[in-house]
Amino acid sequence: MPSPAFEKAAAEAQQLPKKPSDDDLLQLYGLYKQATIGDCNTNKPTFDIKGRYKWTAWDNLKGMNQAEAETQYIAKVEELKKQ
């Protein structure tokens, strides 16, 4: 179950003053999925290019425990809020 700090960061990520770069968005996506679900549990999309990037961002975190993913997600949101 996600921590209150993680849930707060997830809400703040939706309201950042400046749109993050695509790389930052993919990093947030992967960390969010890893924190909430754990290791990637889906097949890599074949024809959906955007879906493939998102899948790869999540799959690259395979093996990271959910608490560490939460911590990194919160730190990334804090970093983006300062930009």
Q: What is the pLDDT of residues 43-58, one digit of tens each?
A: 999 999 999 999 999 9
In which residue are the tokens 């707060």 written? 8
Task: Convert 5-36 to b/e letters by CB count within 10 Å (16 or more is b).
Answer: ebeebbeebeeeeeebeeebbbbbbbbbbbbe
Number of domains, the chain: 1
pTM over 0.85: yes
- Domain boundaries, position 8: 4-81
Q: Which pLDDT belongs to residue 46?
A: 93
Contact 70, 10 (CB under 8 A): no
Residue 75 CA to residue 60 CA, distance in Å, equals: 18
Task: Categorize the per-residue pLDDT at 65 as very low, low, confident or very high, splitting at 50, 70 and 90.
Answer: very high
CATH code where residue 46 lies? 1.20.80.10
14 pLDDT band, cuts 50/70/90, is very high
